[in-house]
Amino acid sequence: MVTAATAGKLTLRQVGKIYADYQGGAINALEPVDLDVAPGEFVAIIGPSGCGKSTLLRLIAGLEKPSAGTLQVDGAPIAGPDYTRGLVFQDPMLFPWKNIWHNVATGLEARGLLAGQKDEVDQFLALVGLADFAGVFPHQLSGGMAQRAALARALVNHPKILLLDEPLGALDALTRMTMQDEILSIWAQRRTTMLFVTHDIDEALYLSQRIVIMSERPGRIKDIMAIDIPRPRRRNAPDFFAYRSRLLALLGVGEQA
């Protein structure tokens, strides 16, 4: 049986990122960022394109190194990629030559744990509603189902932190809303710490406990908004629209209510 995850505490202090451009110059992608995410918290990150949202997630994942500052999980420095920090992209990135069961099992197999934990692959497939699709291949799945498989592949490693980089951006509106509920259900059961990058204000409001609002490049944290809307949340509720108006104003695309 899938049990609750051990959630991680994330601490960022003065984290910045500068990239070298092809002409030998520099691009300041991310100005010093300070952020604390509590164990089991669901935090969304929004902001204009190119503001450093995905860069921030890649730094937390350990796929890139910061130009300045420190990143820690439970007090330990982030030195590189690690299975305790799962990452789900907009593209599910499933291996086309593997069936869904073996795609989900990839991380356990790479860590030499698959022989003793095969039942967990089945359990996480069931958790995301794909128990009946274990033997099919990625091209036989819809976009939403492929993203469920990507979620299961990340979760089977029992990450302390799950990083989601616009994972629903390529889905149609109805499938996207269904997947939002799926992610909330998984979070409610697992209580994994989640950081969710999105361009969709309504999605951020529907999912998260706090929303980090970032400025245009060079990216910095412009504001952090706590979302005090009871769950289950109704997208047409007055308080939902009130928060939406405030977020639009902070992003400079609407007037504050």
Kind of pairing between the strands at 42-46 and 26-37: unpaired
Name the phi and psi angles at 185, rounded to 5. Answer: -65, -45
Q: Are residues 163 and 71 in the same domain?
A: yes
Q: Are residues 130 and 40 in the same domain?
A: no
2 in a domain, yes or no?
no
**Which residue, 43, 57, 49, 45, is CA-closest to 213?**
45
Distance of CA 237 to the CA centre of its chain: 25
Q: Are residues 198 and 137 in the same domain?
A: no
255 in a domain, yes or no?
no
Distance of CA 222 to the CA centre of its chain: 20
From the DSSP assignment, how many helices (H) and strands (E) are in the chain? 8, 10
Please answer whether residues 113 and 151 qualify as being in contact, where contact means their C-beta atoms are separated by less than 8 angstroms. Answer: no
d(CA 209, CA 33): 19
Neighbours of 204 (CB within 10 A): 25
Q: Are residues 179 and 206 in the same domain?
A: yes
122 in a domain, yes or no?
yes
**Which residue, 247, 235, 234, 229, is CA-closest to 42?**
229
Q: Are residues 175 and 244 in the same domain?
A: yes
Q: Could you list the residue range(s) of the whole structural domain that residue 234 is in?
A: 10-84+159-250
d(CA 160, CA 47): 25
Instruction: Please say which residue of 113, 135, 157 terminates a domain.
Output: 157
Q: Are residues 103 and 140 in the same domain?
A: yes
d(CA 245, CA 182): 26
119 in a domain, yes or no?
yes
Q: Are residues 134 and 232 in the same domain?
A: no
Per the structure block, which two tokens stand in for 140?
Answer: 């036989």
90 in a domain, yes or no?
no
- Alpha-helical regions (H) of the chain: 53-61, 100-104, 106-110, 118-127, 143-155, 173-190, 201-207, 238-250
Q: Are residues 239 and 113 in the same domain?
A: no
d(CA 101, CA 134): 5
Per-residue pLDDT of the chain (257 residues; tens, 9 = 90+): 566 668 999 999 999 999 887 777 788 999 999 999 999 999 999 998 888 999 999 999 999 999 999 999 999 999 999 999 999 999 999 999 999 999 999 999 999 989 989 999 999 999 999 999 999 999 999 999 999 999 999 999 999 999 999 999 889 999 999 999 999 999 999 899 999 999 999 999 999 999 999 998 888 999 999 999 999 999 999 999 999 999 999 988 765 44
256 in a domain, yes or no?
no
257 in a domain, yes or no?
no
Q: Are residues 80 and 104 in the same domain?
A: no
DSSP symbol at 7: P
Instruction: Please say which residue of 108, 139, 157 terminates a domain.
Output: 157
d(CA 180, CA 149): 15
Q: What is the CATH number of the domain that holds 226?
A: 3.40.50.300
Instruction: Please say which residue of 108, 140, 157 terminates a domain.
Output: 157
Q: Are residues 188 and 241 in the same domain?
A: yes
Domain count, the chain: 2
Task: Report pLDDT for 256.
Answer: 45
d(CA 108, CA 91): 21
Q: Are residues 240 and 168 in the same domain?
A: yes
Task: Report pLDDT for 257.
Answer: 41
1 in a domain, yes or no?
no
Q: Are residues 131 and 168 in the same domain?
A: no
- Collect all residues with Cβ–Cβ distance below 8 Å to 236 and sequence separation of at least 6: none
